[in-house]
Chain A
Amino acid sequence: MEDYKYLFKVVLIGEAGVGKTCLVRRFTQGLFPPGQAATIGVDFMIKTVEIDGDKVKLQIWDTAGQEKFRSITQSYYRAAHGLVLVYDVCSQNTFDALPQWMVDIESFANQKVMSYLVGNKTDRGDAREVPTHIGKQFADRYEMKFLETSAKEADNVDKLFIDMATILTEEIRSRRLVPDSQSADISKDTKSISSCAQCFKL
């Protein structure tokens, strides 16, 4: 009866207005909401994808970028398997804030968390302020994955999340991600009861 094999929690973080919610919406609902209001606190979406024949469920926690919600959003980092740190390629400020975000990640998130740096809004090519190679450099320095996306044009959005799911799945398969109670389950679906119980460890 399980409709998925692995479950991963992905948390999106980054300055206000970089397009986190739009990325999630584009991925989960396939639409680009024009005039999206600022997220309050945290938002939640879910999407199941198939990776190499296994169903993988992504729980996506979309946090508010506003400073005043910082404390509650930070509390969501810890349980995350994957973190997506988003900045706006058309805004140097959002890029400059990245080191602070890295500090937050280091202090609040799980050490083995997989993190992805994403430069959003590539569709506005003329207004670009952060060149691709700069973003790439930053990502390399912190050993993160790097991708530039456009939620509006649906450019690279699916690739981003599928990529994450693939990497996380591979990690779990190779058991590099120690399956403690917080992380995804290693399916030992011998009996229905045990798998049932497993589900609540998620």
Chain B
Amino acid sequence: MSCVGCCKAIKPRYKRLVDDIFPVNPQDGLVKNNMDKLTFYALSSPEKLDRIGEYLASKLSRDVARKRYTLVKIAMDALDQLLVSCHDYSLNLFVESFLKMVQKLLECDELELQVLATASFVKFANIEEDTPSYHRRYDFFVSKFSVMCHGGTNNDKQRSRIRLSGVKGLQGVVRKTVSDELQVNIWDPIHMDKIVPSLLYNMHDPGFVPVDIESTKDDEHPAQVAETVLRDLICRASYGNLKPVLRPILVHMDNHKLWTPPTFVVKCFKIVMYSVQQQYAYVVIQALMSHLDTHQKSAPDIKAAIVDVLFEAVIIAAGASVGPSVLDVFNTLVKHLRISLDNKSSDETIRAQEKKFEESLINTIGQFANNLPDYQKIEIMMFVMAKFPQFTAEESYGLQMDVQLQTMLLKTLLKVATKYKTVNMANAFPQEFLQPLLRMSLFEEPGMRIIVQEILHTLIDRHENSEKLRHVQVIRDVAKMGIKLEKVSRPDSLFMKKHGSQFYWYLCENMRLESNKVDNFEALYRTMALITVETGSRDIVSDLIRLALDMQNISMNDLSLPLTHKCAIHALVGALLCLVAQICELPELLQYTLEILECRKTEAPHMLPEFAFNRKNRPNSASELHVTILTDFNHKLYPEVETLRDSWVFQQEAISSILMSAEVDVSRLSTSFIQKPLGVSEVDGNRSMSDVNSIVMDFESPEASPMQGRRRETEEITVESLKKMLAEDPKVRREEEERKRLEIVNTFRNDPFEEIVARAEAKSNHFHNKLNEILSMVSRGSDSPAMLRGASKQPPTILDIQFPDLYVY
């Protein structure tokens, strides 16, 4: 092509100018004067610029071939200067020859030239071009710079230089292409798969220790520069481009086995999270999640590392972390929790790692929940609860369920619950949430029951009183304990009036369980105390006292409970009444309580918290403590014969008169909480069809919890029954009820399981028949929408909820 010949005289002017810039003696460097002339010429006649470039390029490639490297440097120098001085539209064609020369230099083996070429390229990359170039391609540059990033010369200094050049070159390419959509799409995976691993490879240089960040020298270390480039890259990435960047990062970590220990990965993702545009942060989270999915079968330590990274990322991402698919995120995490638990390995170390993984999963779930608004936290808790096996398969209630899984799920719940800031009881405990939660409080496993109580604690407690009420003790002065009190708001006390009975019933049932340990009693006490502290007011005082009396009754009447349990309950009741009296400002009641306690002190010290909850001996292990208490009581403190004197226990009549004098409504004091839910088993065939309307009435009570509904059913609302109630001695009736209750309890305790099942089935069949009758009647006879709604809604709830309760025994 260059066939002009060698005669200088007939060369065109631009060629002569170009020739002149090269010195006679290569060592002298660029001839400055002539360079200025060339620049001036190029500026005044820009149309010649491409010719100049072309000619320079051909000269340069000849010099490269002849290995005259000093001349090569001069040529590059000239090119750079021309490039910088000619910001013009004509630059475009010149750039072509410029890039060709850079490529030429990069292609040769000489390290010096490669570094030189990169430096020129970086200079070029910093120039803002105003005319886009559609046909320019950087494939080669990306490939070659990536190769340089992996430079493997043995010479440390050279290696560092070549890698630094490579990283800078990549930065140049990114800068040049990223802002211009008309340019080649640098985000294409084919490029990113080269760029990102190259950066990470340099960042992970084990020889690089960022000891002194201040020193400017560090800035020149490939690791440092690579980090900057990565930040740059991430912060420029838009929604669609983020994935091609993240994928190679994750793959790189996999390939180079960098997950364990996760220090580098965490570092990387911190960089990513801090650089990524806030609104896209959840894409990173999602990428990590799906990566976790792909690692389902990997070693637990890798999974734990991923979750750790996730945890760190979520902290940084804060509000934007979860993105649009909240439940999906939680579903994935819970799913992994489950997989990990199902993965029962006999190997101790693997098991330990799985444990760690599970812990970090739970923490991460908590962290996610932390970023959600409060109402969603409740939703999440309900979602997690729905994962409990028995809610899908009723038969397996408490039997075949994996205790470990449940414990983990409970821990998860607790974690989420601690992040929840309760403002209003009604919001914290929507019916759909409260019901299953309370039902869980009757798990077989005592440890799990404690967790459930803890969940309740953290949800009920609004003033950090929980810690102060940790131990069962007689508090003579509430103010001294530093318990924070606030006036009970109206919605709260309404809530307790409406739903309190559910709490109370489950608490009572909890008391009954033989597997209770000291910790369980303490947890139960704490729940009650917190309810008292948070919502205690005159409105519900009678309920609270009723609760205390019910529990006392349990301890007096339930013969199957061991001695220690009874004492614990007595002591607990005492402490609770004492607290209630103070919170609700009933000095007479306090007086009465203290009298009883005083009396116990002298005559029956085993019924005081100081003894019953004595954990001085071995406060560490609950089970050991249990034993100690037993021995303590048997040998030293507890009387041989089990006696109870009236002066030791709280008398309902006495309390009721005290309350009456304090003008507290005592009507609720006489209805025990204990019987309510059991009433269902007493509803049998003796109700005739003529009662249908009264049943409908029951259903109509709008948000009646199943239990309240039940209560009405037992106390049938007919004139006859009311009359009977009036005539009857309440004590006799109560005894009668107690007897019935015990009977039922015994049936469920002693009868073979099949029989119980059969009975329950028969009952449910019966119920179904009845239901059908009702429904047909309603559809025939009534056009009231309320009835329709009530009838169609309520029965399934009863079915749903009541049967599991029956199985508790």
* A residues in contact (CB < 8 Å) with B: 1-3, 37, 39-46, 59, 61, 64, 67-72, 74-76, 78-79, 181-182, 189, 192-193, 195-197, 199-202
Contact = CB atoms under 8 A, between A and B. Distances in A.
Contacts of B143: 42, 44, 61, 76, 79
A192 B57 CA distance: 13
B146 interface: yes
B201 interface: yes
Interface in B134-170: 135-137, 139-140, 143-144, 146-147, 149-152, 154
A181 B190 CA distance: 15
B256 A68 contact: yes
22 contacts: A1-B54, A2-B1, A40-B150, A40-B151, A41-B147, A41-B150, A41-B198, A41-B201, A44-B143, A44-B144, A46-B108, A61-B147, A64-B150, A71-B193, A71-B251, A76-B143, A79-B139, A200-B100, A200-B135, A201-B135, A201-B137, A202-B137
Given A37-B152, A44-B144, A44-B147, A193 B93 contact: yes
Given A42-B146, A72-B194, A192 B54 contact: yes
B252 interface: yes
B165 to A, nearest CB: 13
B255 A67 contact: yes
A112 to B, nearest CB: 17
Nearest to B194: A75
B90 interface: no
Contacts of A37: 152, 154
A46 B107 contact: yes
B150 A42 contact: yes
Contacts of A196: 50, 54, 93, 96-97, 100
Contacts of B100: 196, 199-200
A35 B58 CA distance: 38
B51 to A, nearest CB: 9
Nearest to A71: B251
A3 B255 contact: no
B419 to A, nearest CB: 38
Interface in B71-116: 93, 96-97, 99-100, 107-109
Nearest to B148: A44
Contacts of A44: 107, 143-144, 147
B297 interface: no
B33 interface: no
B248 interface: yes
Contacts of A202: 137, 140
Given A1-B58, A182-B139, 9 more contacts: A3-B65, A40-B151, A42-B147, A42-B150, A45-B109, A181-B137, A192-B1, A193-B50, A201-B137
Contacts of B150: 40-43, 64, 72
A72 B256 CA distance: 11
B250 to A, nearest CB: 10
Nearest to B152: A40
A92 B514 CA distance: 68
A61 B252 CA distance: 20
Nearest to A189: B1
Contacts of A42: 143, 146-147, 150
Consensus secondary structure, chain B interface: helix
A3 B96 contact: no
Contacts of A70: 255
B146 A78 contact: no
A202 B143 CA distance: 12
Contacts of A79: 139, 143, 190
Contacts of A2: 1
Contact of A71 (B2, B136, B252): B252
A189 to B, nearest CB: 7
Contacts of B248: 71
A199 B135 CA distance: 10
Given A71-B197, A196-B54, A1 B152 contact: no
A67 B255 CA distance: 7
A43 B153 CA distance: 11
Nearest to B140: A202
A28 B691 CA distance: 102
Contacts of B139: 79, 182
B257 interface: yes
A113 B54 CA distance: 33
B198 A72 contact: yes
B61 interface: yes
Contacts of B194: 72, 75-76
Given A46-B107, A72-B198, A78-B190, A200 B137 contact: yes
A165 to B, nearest CB: 17
A72 B191 CA distance: 10
Of all A-B residue pairs in the complex, the 5 with the closest CB atoms, nearest first, are: A41-B150, A75-B193, A40-B152, A1-B58, A72-B197
A195 B198 CA distance: 32
Contacts of B144: 44
B345 to A, nearest CB: 26
B698 to A, nearest CB: 67
Nearest to B2: A1
A121 B140 CA distance: 31
Contacts of A69: 197, 255
Interface in B455-500: none
A82 to B, nearest CB: 15
Nearest to B114: A44
A65 to B, nearest CB: 13
A9 to B, nearest CB: 9
B136 A200 contact: yes
A197 B147 CA distance: 25
A32 B692 CA distance: 101
Nearest to A1: B58
A37 B153 CA distance: 9
Contacts of A45: 109
A64 B584 CA distance: 78
A64 B93 CA distance: 37
B485 to A, nearest CB: 62
A1 B190 contact: no
A192 B96 CA distance: 12
B315 to A, nearest CB: 29
Contacts of A71: 193, 197, 248, 251-252, 255
A201 B138 CA distance: 9
A185 to B, nearest CB: 12
The winner among A39, A59, A196 for most chain B CB atoms within 10 A is A196
Contact of B149 (A41, A61, A201): A41
Interface string B350-392: 0000000000000000000000000000000000000000000
The winner among A67, A75, A76 for most chain B CB atoms within 10 A is A75
A199 B102 CA distance: 12
